[in-house]
Chain A
């Protein structure tokens, strides 16, 4: 009985050890950005992490956009001398490209509360171009939308559309006064809400197509969901979740929720809403229904860490960031709190690379955390796994030798085999990944072999995704910086407005359906070579053609 208990205890410990250490983020560095807030999420690319500050309307301090190296060294700063309101428009990075209105380099787009909209060179923070919008108390506070060779900016008094090449104004239309009101492209029109409770549809030439009374403020980009728009509108003491049917122009109320809505988070047909009462998950398949709730207070931005896991800033005095799991059926799974030394009120989501996390809140301190990512995709701290393995081997060998010396040969074998299994399990992820990489190593193939001459030249040297749907082929190109098949596929699907349905399995993520098409299953090829790894495990090059087709 004792032996059985010992085995059970050892195996339980073994089960917990690697996974307990897997989510351990270690502080790397932090930078105090001054007395203001970090209201919106940092942004990270291969070279820099960017953050913007907000909340300076007294004294000499002014809001800035700052760039740091991944090691925490400040590289440049861009300061606005004229902003005296909350600067909360999210930073947006646009890759270099060209279109009918011209050619542009990689740009960091920044909307300012003084009405300016600047396109900065992310390498050095200099201005490439700047446009100005009408100021009415404050200026730009919402999220811009990149649409082809233009950027569409929700301004204080309406909407403007700018050429990415030079900032030339394609249109600037007066609507209602807005605040934090992002814009969405839906059914060929730009949709946004305002503080007075109007929902607007604006054509690409700036003509107002429709307006509808929501009777409440809309402070997020409408969520395009099938044939309608999901809207989380704000009233003085509560919020309402509405579904606007853009075909019949009718509104349906889905739920009454807490006050001060956050910016919703979308994954396929599931939407996560935040407010002062907590988190709410909603699934639209096709009817939208509330699935689950979790009491907390989230009023700002949320962001996916991975499919099925998101972070949300807790906007309370205690603060911190919630790390929450979202199950395929829309229920909220395990929710835990990620705490930092500067926890407090916050509305900003974290930003990530594969091994780094950047956070900021109203304390105005940009914090960097690091974690090791193994080649198999499993996260683990740098030293814990080898140390556990070394400890297991040492204990196993020493214990077995001691037992053997005392004539307890059977017990020695038991200890030895248990140690061997423990070490094998610790080694398995790395071993399996390396083995698989060697096993499926094939002749190098190139993008050229699968390049379609009809594609724009601007897509050369970028990541291109082809979806071979039963009735059409959808292509998204010019994508950069994606490190896994899943990341690239999700970005391409979002760009082309395709829905993806996934299923988490023991050996990785499985893409079940594209745009609702499940059929006999989906396969992918990379530069013509058949993929063999799970989509979230398959690492990719910076230049490739990824093709999805039915098996």
Chain B
């Protein structure tokens, strides 16, 4: 199967790859614009977060399936909501894959981390402004196989049987386990730091929006 389909799935033509880029960027910005309006500072900080996570993913690429983006997507979803979380996930995936290896699989990885961001938004990871660490660790571990399942879909072809797909999924389990363990480690090491950063961003946004509402400048 690997030999037939390659490491990630079928090859894309240059036109196909360009189309995929346009669709992903368009989708990311559609989610951004449909989210509650953000001020420039918030947008700049979100861009910083995207760039930092993409760079970290590229740097850590030699470590198989240790994915710093997953925990970040959970927390961005938790703090900024599902729409911005999805936009964050798509942009980080696209940007880092342009440097690592870009193709058909980018679509599925972006989808996987988007789902992670949605999980982060719905999992009540933040309660009364405080990060629920235990819930974050649990979510970080559980989303790893979910991401593995979605990204493995990139290998599905019309000729593949259910049994063959199950074998493919099974082959990925050790890598999913490392992904889960890496996520927990990232959550333990950086969860509080990211939470503070994103809380500041949210607070900043709330403050400015509040100011805007008062003065009619940012309505």
Contacts and interface: CB of A to CB of B under 8 A. Distances in A.
B178 A414 contact: no
A532 B185 contact: no
Contacts of B157: 551
Contact of B7 (A14, A421, A507): A507
Contacts of A523: 1, 3-4
A417 B137 CA distance: 11
B171 to A, nearest CB: 5
Interface string B173-193: 111011001101100111001
Nearest to A549: B4
A551 B159 contact: yes
A414 B188 CA distance: 6
Interface string B5-26: 1110010000000000000000
Given A421-B66, A431-B174, A3 B189 contact: yes
B129 interface: no
B181 A510 contact: no
A15 B62 contact: yes
A533 B185 contact: no
Contact of A532 (B62, B64, B167): B167
A439 interface: yes
Interface residues of A, number: 42
B64 A425 contact: yes
B1 A530 contact: yes
A510 B1 contact: no
B219 interface: no
B134 to A, nearest CB: 11
A384 interface: no
A420 B181 contact: yes
Given A421-B181, A421-B185, A424-B181, A510 B174 contact: no
A521 B6 contact: yes
Nearest to B2: A534
Nearest to A416: B188
Interface of B: 1-7, 10, 60, 62-64, 66, 157, 159, 167, 170-171, 173-175, 177-178, 181-182, 184-185, 188-190, 193
18 contacts: A3-B189, A421-B181, A421-B185, A425-B64, A428-B178, A431-B174, A432-B174, A439-B171, A505-B6, A511-B3, A520-B4, A521-B4, A521-B5, A521-B6, A521-B10, A522-B3, A522-B4, A532-B1
Interface of A: 3-4, 7, 11, 14-15, 19, 410, 413-414, 417-418, 420-421, 424-425, 428, 431-432, 435-436, 439-440, 503, 505-508, 510-511, 520-524, 530-535, 551
